[in-house]
Chain A
Amino acid sequence: MAEILVLVDHVDGAVRKTTTELLTIARRIGEPAAVFLGSGYEAARDTLARFGAVKVYVAESPEFDDYLVAPHAEVLAQIASTAQPSAVLVTSNPDGKEIAGRLAVKLESGVITDAVDVDSDLTTTQSVFAGGYTVNARVTQGTAIITVKPNAVTPEPAETTPVEEKVAVTISDAAKRAKVVARTARAATGRPELTEAAIVVSGGRGTGGEFGPVEALADALGGAVGASRAAVDSGWYPHSHQVGQTGKTVSPQLYIAAGISGAIQHRAGMQTSKTIVVVNKDAEAPIFSMADFGVVGDLHTVLRQATEEIEKRKG
């Protein structure tokens, strides 16, 4: 059975949930082989084994952190050319897309980005044009390089004892052109990661800058907080929380939009949410057309009351 390479997305060995999703998908297609680049493998080992990596290529070097991802693409291409996998799966985020793009050129292979599902025969599903269309596609040349969005599948454990293969790391000068001078991690909020959360409560211009009620409702539901671009541009909430075309795409079980009108660029980031609840004081706001449940009213009072009622019900 051909190997399916899964590039491990991690911070110092702390494996991101998306990687366990990719391993779950890889198992459908062939033999999952994880590729670990960077430092901290020791911390990553157990998770990769638990989610079914039959093999792990370990290229440990602190040097990766000194540059943007060109070195990752270089070493991944080197591993792929000996492993001859039928596919390489990478998380769909800015770094993952750069790696995928470079890899496609290096391996002379086709690339598909933002898959929301991948079949056992490598047919991908994508959601395009602001969620208006579903596209099925496949790579027809070389190794299928596919970036997969978070939350595509529910990660399923499948314990293995992976074979570890150490890979010597030599990074070319060409891959060292973009040096990272400083890196600032985002401040921890104690809330779930926006793209991974099962519940997202978002606020827009209608909050008037007051995100307290939005955060309180998110906390009552154990959800993440999102924001429209209007709220982000006004400086009310950090850009890392923006939902939409130029922010994050979310696909939670429940999306609550408060004080958001529903511009196409916002819908592009939340259209595939399972259930949508809307609170907006304008009954004509376009976002109501997508609502499974909506309240025409002032979000400040409605969200506060909803939060109180939820706390009461939780007892």
Chain B
Amino acid sequence: MKIVVLVKHVPDAAADRGFNESDHTTDRAGVDGILSELDEYAVEEALKLSDSGEADVIAVTMGPDGALDAIKRSLQMGAASGVHVVDDALHGSDAVATSKVLAAAISKLGDVNLVLTGMASTDGGMSVVPAMLAERLGFAHIGFVGELGFADGKVSARRDADVTETVEASLPAVVSVTDQINEPRYPSFKGIMAAKKKPVETWSLADLGVDAGSVGLSAAWSVVEAVTARPERTQGEIVTDEGDGGVKVAEYLAGQKFI
């Protein structure tokens, strides 16, 4: 079985994230990047499948030079190989364009049975790329999966959306997983050493046959007009409980007309 796991390199949420002033795109240079934490669950799920059977796990990313780190981390965790789609024309791409490029990369790999993704990227956080990929590739799509199983060439999944659903789909399929599905492993020393020898391909838009004019900021189908930092919340009154803390809470709530 051929499994593609989509990994995105994002600004670390623990750092002070921001935007480029000139074009309102996410600042990817000024903040340390990491493998999107929610994609680690997708990598882990792919590795669990390859640990228990015959599966070839390929980590795929689209992003600037630094995005290679997301591939490296996936290889250290245990993925067999990686693909890095990088091209200057990609800067500022929206989700529609991202899905177009990733779909082209998956098609180029050929005979992919399963595409695993995170439930959302921790920067853009739209949760739409997986559904767009399924739409473009004609694959089945199951989003927000909290438990995944295989039997008779089918995926079965527990989906933790608004209600709990048990879903079945035939392959090929795109499955996005939540942080409920597993506990991602840390790369072992052996894994880190082994990763250095694993193959990584670098593909440009030309390699994928995608027109550079159809992606990037100028071709985006939505535009950010303004970005405003939210004013810090100002701290109100903090009291220490001296036996009357609960009464004080009630007094405050009554003063604010909540009672």
* Other-chain contact of A113, B127, B227, B244, B248 (Cβ < 8 Å): B127
Contact A137–B225 (Cβ < 8 Å): yes
Chain B interface, number of residues (Cβ within 8 angstroms): 84
* Other-chain contact of A134, B173, B228, B249 (Cβ < 8 Å): B228
Contact A182–B165 (Cβ < 8 Å): yes
Docked Cα-Cα span, A211 to B24, in Å, equals 43
* Other-chain contact of B259, A138, A276, A290, A310 (Cβ < 8 Å): A310
Contact B223–A104 (Cβ < 8 Å): no
Which stretch in A23-31, A54-62, A299-307 binds the other chain? Answer: A299-307
Contact A295–B248 (Cβ < 8 Å): yes
Docked Cα-Cα span, A141 to B258, in Å, equals 44
CB distance from A271 to the nearest CB of B (A): 8
Does A294 count as interface, using CB distance less than 8 angstroms? yes
Which stretch in A43-51, A94-102, A162-170 binds the other chain? Answer: A94-102
Given contacts A309-B247, A310-B259, contact A110 B163 (CB under 8 A): no
- Classify the secondary structure of A's interface with B: mixed
Contact with B along A222-254 (1 / 0, CB 8 A): 000000010000000001100001100000011
Chain B neighbourhood of A309, CB < 8 A: 246-247, 249-251
B residues contacting A by CB (< 8 A) are 13-14, 17-19, 24, 38, 94-96, 99, 119-120, 122-123, 125-132, 134-136, 138-144, 146, 156, 159-170, 173, 178-180, 220-230, 233, 235-241, 244-254, 256, 258-259
- Classify the secondary structure of B's interface with A: mixed
* Other-chain contact of B144, A94, A303, A308 (Cβ < 8 Å): A94
CB distance from A88 to the nearest CB of B (A): 14
Contact A101–B95 (Cβ < 8 Å): yes
* Other-chain contact of B96, A105, A271, A292, A302 (Cβ < 8 Å): A105
Docked Cα-Cα span, A129 to B121, in Å, equals 11
Docked Cα-Cα span, A120 to B125, in Å, equals 25
Does A184 count as interface, using CB distance less than 8 angstroms? yes
Contact A177–B140 (Cβ < 8 Å): yes
Docked Cα-Cα span, A301 to B132, in Å, equals 50
Chain A neighbourhood of B256, CB < 8 A: 254, 275
